[in-house]
Amino acid sequence: MPWLQIKLNTVREQAAKLEDALLDTGAVSVTLQDNADQPILEPGLGETPLWDQVRITGLFDADIDTRNTTEQITARFNQALPEHQWEQLEDKDWEREWMSNYHPICCGERLWICPSWLAPPEPDKVNILLDPGLAFGTGTHPTTFLCMQWLDGQTLDDLHLVDYGCGSGILGIAALKLGARKVVGVDIDPQALLATSDNAQRNQLAENAMPVFLPPQAPNEPVDIVLANILAGPLAELAPQLSALTRRDGKICLSGILATQADAVMAAYADNFVFDPVAQKDEWVRITGTKIR
């Protein structure tokens, strides 16, 4: 089925009003994109920030009258539309188009992340079956890749871990497949807990191998390794809690941190840990260390 789309260049203050106008006039979807290469790297909790310059795309059925629809959008917007243009959207098999963007990812000597619709390139290695979903963590982001790469280099046999901010569960699942005895998944988002449980089942892990909890209900006994791929601000705030979760001589792996934020995060943990050299991929870093007290 062919489609028509209208693209409009606007500013942050007008974006919500323009989005409502498109939806009210029959748009089947509305997409907002950065229109000035302005990254938003660490929004605050509960925030949904927008860029200063925004490109809005509204998708419509191909049988609409674009002139009439433009007039309707203008009336709903209640002022002259910003710079805009209509385009015909090529008809494609969008499911296959989306799937074509994901490929197996090698995260070290042993570890692969594989979409479920593709055969693992190296079936004898440790393969994590993981499809993109609502929860963060598919291996494509540098922070996840850095943590997976670190896990690949560890001896995890019979260890007990906590994956704090588990998202999709990818780190905990990888740890279990690399030999860990048990991983506790913790996240503030109930959707992430569901995703973790579903992905653990998809990877044929034992039913009780990775129990999941919201933070208030999570166990607090110290474990061998604590993984936390979150963001720099929460990592610094959680330093007392995550430090207490790590047993003496245990290890911690922290990511979701920009290179410019590494010193501040390390300072929050410095009283309890001796650090390894910081690993970096693009502008993101991974901090690992061993607990000394």
Which residues are annotated binding-site positions for S-adenosyl-L-methionine? 144, 165, 187, 229
**Do 192 and 168 contact (CB within 8 A), yes or no?**
yes
Q: What are residue 187's phi and psi, to 5 degrees?
A: -155, 150
Q: Name the strand (E) or helix (H) holding 275.
A: strand 273-275
**Do 205 and 231 contact (CB within 8 A), yes or no?**
no
Q: Which residues are annotated as a binding site?
A: 144, 165, 187, 229
**Do 204 and 176 contact (CB within 8 A), yes or no?**
no
Burial of 79 (0-12, 13-18, 19+ CB in 10 A): exposed
Which residue carries 């280099």 as its tokens?
Answer: 153
What is the C-alpha separation between 60 and 104, in angstroms, rounded? 34
Which residue carries 């019979």 as its tokens?
Answer: 158
Sequence-ordered list of residues with C-beta below 8 angstroms from that of 144, at least 6 positions apart, any chain: 136, 137, 138, 170, 171, 229, 255
Which residue carries 């029959």 as its tokens?
Answer: 26
Rg (CA), the chain: 23
Give CA 45 to chain center in angstroms.
14
Closest CA to 116 of 106, 126, 103, 107: 103
